[in-house]
Structure formats: C-alpha cells, structure tokens
Chain A
Amino acid sequence: MSYTPTELMTINAARKLRDRQVCFVGIGLPSAAANLARLTHAPEVVLIYESGTIGARPDVLPLSIGDGELAEFADTVVSVPEIFRYWLQGGRVDVGFLGAAQIDRFANINTTVIGPYATPRTRLPGAGGAPEIASSAKEVWITLRQSPRSFVERLDFITSAGFLDGGDARERSGARGAGPTAVITDLGVLTPDPVTRELTLTAVHPGIDVEQVRAATGWDLRVSPDLRMTERPSEQELAILRDLHARTAQAHGAAAGGD
C-alpha cells in the first residue's frame, strides 16, 4: 500500500502516544495524529484541547480548536482560564503536542513572525497556547514538515522554548517538564542529544536517505550512529487515517482533511 509523506508523519507521530496518557493537542497535524492514536492503539488516551474540552473524542477532525465536535463527546468542558490554570499549569498534562512554522537545532519554535518584529516579512498567527504548553507539559512533541525554510539555523523569534541555547539552559530558565523529546517530520524523527540537547536525527522513514534529510535542514545536522528506520505504515493504520480524513472532508464540505 503506498502512502504520502504527510500520512507517514501523522502515523509515526500517532505511534508515540501511549494509552491513558494525557495529551494537550494543537490543531492541525498534532490533532490528526492524536486522534489516529485514539482510534488505533490508544483508545483511552485523554485528549485536551485549549478550548476547554477534556477527554475529547471527535468523530471527525476539528477545523478549529473549538469545533462543536470536540465539546459534544468530551468528558467535560471547562472555561479557557480553567484549562490553562488547573489542567496545564497545574501539571496534569503528560504530553504537549505542537506544530510550528519554524524550528531551530535546540527545538525552540517560532509561530510569531518571519523578519523583524516591527517590520515583519510575514506575520504568522502568534503564540496561542504554545509558550505555556511548551514550558508546563511533562514532555513536548513537535510535528512539522522538514525543509530548509522550516528547519532554520536562526529563528527570527522564539515564541515557545525548547532547549533555548542548549546544554542546561532550559533547566536554568525555570521551565518545567523535559521539553521537546521528539520532533516528528515527513522524513524521520529527531531527538535531543542528552547532553548538548541538539536535535539529532535518530530515525528515517522507509525510502528516505540521510542526505535528503540533511538537505532539508538549515543547519549542519547531526546524525545518530544508531540511526534506525521507522516501520512502514500498516494497512490498518492507513485505512483508519484515510477513513478519518474522508469523514472530515465530508463533514467540512471540502477537502479539509489534509493529504
């Protein structure tokens, strides 16, 4: 069965979630991955969206972070101040699952601006919930497509902290949690070096070679000597993901489900 790079990324991201983990979910790719996990190996995973839905079980993927679908089948719906204060800041989130426009070698992310802040070349939507998700969840996973434009040597703006300048900078900053423990892309998986905290390529997807990943990275990418290959998506994973996207597209009245 053939598959697209995005399907590969989503399936690999989904595999990381364990059953009964509490996951604070960003919209877009993280939401697709988290729901795929729920529909496959992790039926009891607890999905929290910043709109205040706890234990969300959407039948189709939400287009926005506050679709009625999320509230309808949730265990409970709380206010936005409460979701951030009691549930996130209160330390009840195992995994913060984020997307990003840009990332650097220490897994800091930018969702604010490309170019100077006062005179931006491209104005991005901004922080949303990410700065506090990144510094309060017990660990953070980031999923985004890998290219020299998204994996950059220097961020124009750090919206949400990863490992800052590397080494023990994150611990010294007062951030809670282990920070970004995995970055899942359409080419492979990067994890932080235990000492320098620099993102290191630890796995590539089937059919991807290391040079391809290097070419898609804006810095001199470190590659693990124990580089492994991720497992091919199974027919079951692909069928469930495609079914989810088809239901979503039908519900949203267009090809909304990604590719």
Chain B
Amino acid sequence: MTTHKLCTLQEAVAELIHDGDAIALEGFTHLIPSAAGHEVIRQRRRNLTLIRMTPDLVYDMIIGMGGADRAIFSWGGNPGVGSIHRFRDAIEKSWPRPLAIEEHSHADMAARYQAGASGLPFAVMRGYVGSDLPRYNPNIRFIECPFTGERLACTPALNPDVAVIHAQKADRKGNVLISGIVGVQKEVVLAARRSIVTVEEIVEDIKDHAQMNSVVLPGWVVSAVCHVPGGAHPSYAHGYYKRDNSFYKAWDAISRDRDTFLEWMNRHVMATADFAEFCQSLAASGMIRSLPQEVRA
C-alpha cells in the first residue's frame, strides 16, 4: 500500500475498502468500529458483503443506506433493546435493496475466523446438533472424524478482504494493543487480506503499555492505523469510556421508520466530514451530553 501505516480514516477507507469487498467490522459488544462504519457510508461503498458475528447498529446503518448485498452473521439485533430495523426491513421487505443472508452460530463464526487466520480451508467443531440451520445454509456441512467416527460440523474458513477493528492503543510503528473483552479481533485481522485499526490513543512505544501476554497485533500484520478517539461509540472502549446504553435505546426509534432513519443519517453522517464532526453534531442535537472521548470510564 502507498499510504503510511498511520493515516486518516478517510485515507484508509479510500485506499483499502473497495466496492464489492467482503468486509468484517468486528468487536464483540466492546470496541465496535463505529467511526469506520460511518466512513464506509460517507464514501458510498456499494455491493459489500458484511461479515460480523453480531450485526448491530454499525451494520444497520450501512444496510439502510444501501451499501450491502449480503450479510454473514450469527446474531443480528440491538443488544438488550430488540431488533435492528434496517437489517430486518432489508431481509423482510428488500428495502432499500435485497439483502442475502448466510447464517451461522457464534461458535462457528469464531471457528471460521480461526481457520482463516490459521491458513486452513475449513473449521471443524461439534456444532449444530439437531438445529435447522444446516438445512438453510449449504456452507454448513458435516464430516466424520477419521479417528473416532464422530459426526462433526464443518464450515469454510473466513478470509475477509478487509478486517476493521477498534483498539485502545497503537504506537507509531502501528503495533496495536487491545484489552478487555477481546472478542475475535486478533483472529479477524490475521484472517483478512487487509486491515484497518482505529485507536483511542497513539503512544510512543506499545511495549511500555502492554504486559507480556497482552493481546498485541504487531504493526507488520496491520495495513493502516488511524487515530479516532471515541471511534467505538456507542459501544465502549475499556479504560476510556462506557457503553452509551441510551444511544442504543434511542436508535430503536431513529431506525424504525425509513424516512426518520434517512434524515438522521443525512444530518449526522453524510453532512459531517469525519467522526469528530459527527460527535459534535450529536452533541448539538442533544443526543449525547458530551463527546465519548471526553467521558472517562
């Protein structure tokens, strides 16, 4: 790539995410790369395959804005609140365009990323016993263990074109430190062809911040690192800011109606230049009391 490892999120998305790509924005409730999702929408990427264990607000926005053709997932909802309405509208009513779905379980999605990171062609697990999911998803198949004869589920490895994650810290060489609930972030970055990491903070040397067994992604496996404080809002960044539960609840009303959704997206995402402006726009409308990066957890 031609960009420097440390670059702006606009540069990273422009260079690394293309129309038609299979992208995986990961973060299991924690460290969800929301700012990167907005930037994908601002740059009007189209025909994306969206991979994510838990499509929530970040994919609801991309799907509602017409950016996606397909979703690969294991649980699609607004955690603790209910449905994600744009996702449902796309599946149930093909609005604004049809959304093909490929559905798995959490254990399987995690195993598929592991297989992808391991350079294996498929993941194997004791899974889907008695479930109807394999009847509707031809990517879930079964093999016999060559040693015990046990029937095991297998699914193809996931190797996204681009992995996108948010983390707490990176240093100037692009070494990334993730702490707290680490989800599948390491696996998705190692499984993907390219990767973008947004971070709360750039530090001089990650070695001064990471204990020996911390989850660190060396800079040489990461394509781009972007400094985006608050970039996981409304999810949280452990040690920086808390989950904005009231935003998740507010999203239910914003996203329920097509016009309300479009108006909100145009006002706060399309009409703002970057995530900092997005946050100011939210603050001006009273949706957040203070910028996420200014609320210490």
Contacts and interface: CB of A to CB of B under 8 A. Distances in A.
A126 B83 contact: no
B129 A256 contact: no
A159 B28 contact: no
Interface in A96-136: 108, 112, 117, 120, 122-123, 125-132, 135-136
Nearest to B135: A117
A68 B30 CA distance: 8
B132 interface: yes
B178 to A, nearest CB: 10
A78 B182 CA distance: 7
Interface of B is mostly: loop
Interface residues of B, number: 56
B147 interface: no
A253 B243 contact: no
Given A63-B248, A66-B29, A126-B75, A79 B183 contact: yes
Interface string B83-109: 100011001100000000001111100
Contacts of B272: none
A73 interface: no
Contact of B181 (A70, A128, A160): A70
B285 interface: no
A73 B125 CA distance: 30
A127 B75 contact: yes
Given A81-B114, A84-B111, A174-B129, A52 B246 contact: no
Nearest to A161: B130
A78 B187 CA distance: 13
A126 B79 contact: no
Given A79-B183, A89-B107, A128-B106, A157 B132 contact: yes
Interface of B: 28-30, 53-54, 73-77, 79-81, 83, 87-88, 91-92, 103-107, 110-111, 113-114, 125-133, 136, 150-151, 180-184, 186-187, 215, 236, 238, 242-243, 245-246, 248-249, 297
